[in-house]
Amino acid sequence: MNDSPSPASLRIDAPDAAAIEEFRESILAKLVYQVGGRPERASPRDWFIATALAARDHIVDDWRRTNDQTRAEDRKGVCYLSMEFLIGRLLTDALGNLGLTETARQALAGLGVDLDAVAGQEADAALGNGGLGRLAACFMESMASIGVPAYGYGIRYENGLFRQIIAGGLQHEVPEDWLALGNPWEFERSSLVYEIRFGGHVRSEVSVDGSTRMVWHAGEIVNALAYDTPVVGWRGKRINTLRLWSARATDPLHLSEFNRGDHVGAQAARMRAEAISRVLYPGDETEAGQELRLRQEYFFASASLQDIIRRHLSRHAGLGNLADRVAVQLNDTHPAIGVAELMRLLMDVHGMDWDAAWAVTQATFSYTNHTLLPEALETWPVPMMERLLPRHMQIIYLINARHLDTARARGAGDALLSSVSLIDERHGRRVRMGHLAFVGSHRINGVSALHSQLMRDTVFADLNQVCGDRITNKTNGITFRRWLHRANPGLTHLLTDTIGPELLDDPERLEHLVPLAEDAGFRQRFAAQRRAAKERLTGVIATRIGLKVDPDALFDVQIKRIHEYKRQLLNVVQTVALYNAMRARPTGHWIPRVKIFAGKAAPSYHQAKLIIRLTNDVAATINEDPTLRGTLKVAFLPNYNVSLAEMIIPAADLSEQISTAGLEASGTGNMKLALNGALTIGTLDGANVEIDERVGRDNIFIFGLTAAEVAERKRAGFDARLAVAASPELRGALDAIASGVFSPGEPDRYRGLVESLLHDDRYLVTADFDAYHARQRDVATCWSKPESWWRSAVLNTAHVSWFSSDRTIRDYAEDIWKVTPR
Ligand SMILES: *Cc1c(COP(=O)(O)O)cnc(C)c1O
C-alpha cells in the first residue's frame, strides 16, 4: 500500500489502514480534549502536542510492562547520573523507535498536516552543553535499545543552554525557554519528593540503643520533585526512564521553623531554593566556581541516591546487597559528591558501619572521566564545602585519612601522598572531586583509547598506582538510530536497499558495503544522496544567514563548542591563507569550497567569543569578494544544537577534527560525520585515532603533532615566532588578520589575538599550521577526483559500525556494571 515511501521514514513500519485510522482518531481526540483546539484552526504547535500525546499513549503501556517485568525478575539495573542530557527533539525519535513514523505521517496527511512540519515545532531540549550531555542521551537510547534496565538521573533545568544569536558578528545569549509551551513527554511525579539539606551543623548524639550517630541539623531544606520522561528503545524493546529533579521550596510550615514566620525571608528562601533547577551552567570545560553549581550537584546526587535506596528497600530487607542490584555510573565529576552522600545515607540514616558502607559504596559506583584539562578538573574550596555540606566534609576527611593510610602502607612518600590526597593543599585548600570519584569507585574509565592511556600516564598515574589498576577504557559511541536512520533517511534507504534491512538491527552489516566502494553505480547513488542533503542545507543557510552557496562545492564542516583546544582558530587562519592564495592566483585551479562553522562559546569565555567574531568577520569579507567568483564561501550558522547537527551532518563532505593532540578526550561529532560518509581531516587525538585505524590511512587526512610530540614541544618550550617566520603563508594570514583586513572599521580588533598567539601559543596552532594547510591541499586534490573521493566516503561509512553506542554500552555492561542486556 506504500508504493512510494517517503524518504523520511523507514520501511520497517508499513502500516495498515486500520492502524492509520486509529492513530488519526487518537490525534484528533488529543487535539480536541487535551490541547483544547479545533482541527480547522489548530496551529502546527497544537498538532505537535496532539501528535506527541498520541504517540505517548503507545509508550505508556509498554513503559509499565518493562518496569513491572524488571521488578518481578529483580534484574540488576543501571543508574546513570549526569548533570547534562542533551536529548534534542523526541517526537521523531519516539515514532521511529516504535515503528510508527509512517503511521503518524499518513494519519496526519489525512488531516491535511505534514509530519515534518509538526516535528519541527518541538523545542530542542538542550539540557546540556555539548559532547558530554549528548553522550548521556545516546547512552540512554542505547540502554533501552539493547535491553539494559536503566534510569537516567539529572536536573530538569527550566532554562537549558542559552540560544545563540549572532549580531554584528558577535555572540549574544538569550534564555532558551524550552518549557514555555508545555512539554508533552514528561510526567510530574508529585509523590516522588525528597528532602535535600544544606548548611547547619553536625552533632554526635547517642541513640536509645546506646550507639552514637552523627546527626546533621540542616540550616535549609529544599525539596526535589521528580519528572519522568520515557526513553523508548529501538523497536520499542524497552522503555527506560529519564528522571529529572526540579527544586521546590519546602512547605511554609517547614520553612517557618527556619524563618520564624518571616514572610519576606520565606519568599527569599523560596527563590533561593528554586534557583537550583533554574539554569544549566553554560560553562563548558572551564568550571564556574560558584556556590550555586555545588548546590546543583549535591541536589541531584542526593535526590537520585535517596530514590535508588527507596527503590531498593521496596524489594530488599537491607542495603548490604545494593551493589548486586544496581550500578551507579558517575558521568564526570559533577555527581561525585554522591560518594560522600551514599556513605552518609548508609551510615547516618541506615545505621551501617563504616567498613560495610565503604564496601557497598565502592562496589556501587563507577566513574567516567571526560577531560584532563587542568582548568576543567573540578575542585571545591574546603570552607565552602564545610559551610554548605558540613557532614560530607567530615566524611571526605575520613575517606581521605584511610586512603592516605593505605597509600602510606604501600610505601608512598610525601610527594606521592600530596598528589593522591583528596585535598589539594597548594591553592588554598580544595576538595579534588576527580580524586573523590576515583577513590569511591571500583572502575574508572576514559572515553577513548588515547584518553584512557593519558589518564594512566598523567593526571591519574599516582592514584592508579596507589589504588591498584582501576582504569579501563570505554571508547564513546553514538546511537545510529538518531545519527543515521533519522538524521539521514535518504542514505539509510540506499543502504538498506543495497545491503538489506537487517542493517537497522545490526550495524556491523555496514562492512558489506566494502565491495560496493568499487562499484561506480553505487558510488554515484551514494553521492546523489549527499547532493540532496546539501541542497537542503543550502536552503537552511540561505534562510538563516542569507548566504547563497553552491551545493556542488565541497562542504567543509567544523561544528562543535567553540574552544581554543578544538582550534577553530587554526581553521579560520587556514581559510585566510587559502583566501590570500586565491587572490594571488585568481586563475589557479581552485575547487569550490564552503567552510561551515557552528558552535557556542561559554558566555564568559572571551577568547572563544573573539574567535566567533573573527570567523564572522572573515566570512563577511570573503563572501563579498567578487574576485573569488563564489569559489570560497564561509558560513557561520548560529545556535548550534542537536537539531542543527541533524541537518548539517548528512550534508558534510569534510569533517574537521583538528584539536591539539592529547586534549580532546574522544569526540563524538567525528563519529557522526564519518558514519554519514564525510572524510575526516584531523589530528591523532581522541577517537580520531580509532577512526583512523578502522577506515585506513587512505581514507582519512591525518596531520600534525602527536600527543607525545605536543608534550615534548611544551617541555622544550615552543616558540611560535619561529614557526611563523618559517612559514610565509602563515605569516601572510596572521598579518592580514592583525592589520585589520577583516575588520576595516576597527583595524586593531584582532591585533591582541594574533599577539597572544605569537607569545603563548598554548594550543600549538602555529606549530601545526603548515601540516594542516598541506593536508587541505590534499583534500582539494582528492575532491577533484570524484572516483577516489566517493570510494573513501563509502569506506568511511562501511568501517565505523564499531562506534555504535550499543557497542559501548555492551562493554560497560559486561566489564563495569555486570548487567546482562536482553
Ligand atoms: C555530537 C554533538 C556534540 C559533540 O561534538 P564534538 O565534535 O565531539 O565536540 C556537541 N553538540 C551537539 C549538539 C552534538 O550533537
- Tell me, using a 6 A CB cutoff, whether residue 130 lines ligand 1: yes
Cβ-proximal residues to 375 (8 Å cutoff; 6+ apart), any chain: 285, 286, 287
All three cell numbers of 593: 569550497
For residue range 546-581, what is the model confidence (pLDDT) as tens digits? 999 999 999 999 999 999 999 999 999 999 999 999
CA distance 755 to 610: 14
CB 575 within 8 A of CB 525: no
- pLDDT for the residue numbered 8: 40
- Tell me, using a 6 A CB cutoff, whether residue 821 lines ligand 1: no
- pLDDT for the residue numbered 269: 76
For residue range 30-42, what is the model confidence (pLDDT) as tens digits? 999 999 999 999 9
DSSP state of 233: P
- Tell me, using a 6 A CB cutoff, whether residue 648 lines ligand 1: no
CB 162 within 8 A of CB 134: no
- pLDDT for the residue numbered 9: 43
For residue range 379-399, what is the model confidence (pLDDT) as tens digits? 999 999 999 999 999 999 999
Q: What pLDDT band is residue 173 in, cutting at 50, 70 and 90?
A: very high
- pLDDT for the residue numbered 2: 35
Q: 482, 559, 672: which to mutate for ligand 1, most atoms within 8 A of CB?
A: 559
For residue range 199-255, what is the model confidence (pLDDT) as tens digits? 999 999 988 888 888 999 999 999 999 999 999 999 998 999 999 999 999 864 555
User: What are the residue ranges spanned by the domains of the chain?
Assistant: 74-88+124-475+809-817, 533-803
**Architecture of the domain made up of 74-88+124-475+809-817:** 3-Layer(aba) Sandwich (3.40)
Active-site annotation holds for 566: yes
- pLDDT for the residue numbered 262: 67
**533-803 falls under which CATH superfamily?**
Glycogen Phosphorylase B; (3.40.50.2000)
Which residue has the CA at smallest separation from atom 15 of ligand 1?
642
Which residue has the CA at smallest separation from atom 1 of ligand 1?
669
Active-site annotation holds for 672: yes
For residue range 494-550, what is the model confidence (pLDDT) as tens digits? 999 999 999 999 999 999 999 999 999 999 999 999 999 999 999 999 999 999 999
Q: Exactly one of 24, 156, 370, 799 is catalytic; which is it?
A: 370
Burial of 29 (0-12, 13-18, 19+ CB in 10 A): middle
CA distance 819 to 797: 30
Q: 560, 562, 643, 683: which to mutate for ligand 1, most atoms within 8 A of CB?
A: 560
For residue range 241-295, what is the model confidence (pLDDT) as tens digits? 999 999 999 864 555 656 666 666 667 778 888 999 999 987 765 556 589 999 9
Common-topology check for domains 74-88+124-475+809-817 and 533-803: yes
Q: How many residues does the chain have?
A: 822
Distances from the Cα of 224 to the Cαs of 99, 362, 507, in angstroms? 35, 25, 40
For residue range 628-677, what is the model confidence (pLDDT) as tens digits? 999 999 999 999 999 999 999 999 999 999 999 999 999 999 999 999 99
Helix, strand, coil percentages, rounded to 5, for the chain? 55, 15, 30
Q: Exactly one of 58, 560, 613, 799 is catalytic; which is it?
A: 560
CA distance 655 to 659: 12
Does the pTM exceed 0.85? yes
Radius of gyration of the chain from Cα atoms? Answer: 27
Average pLDDT of the chain is 94
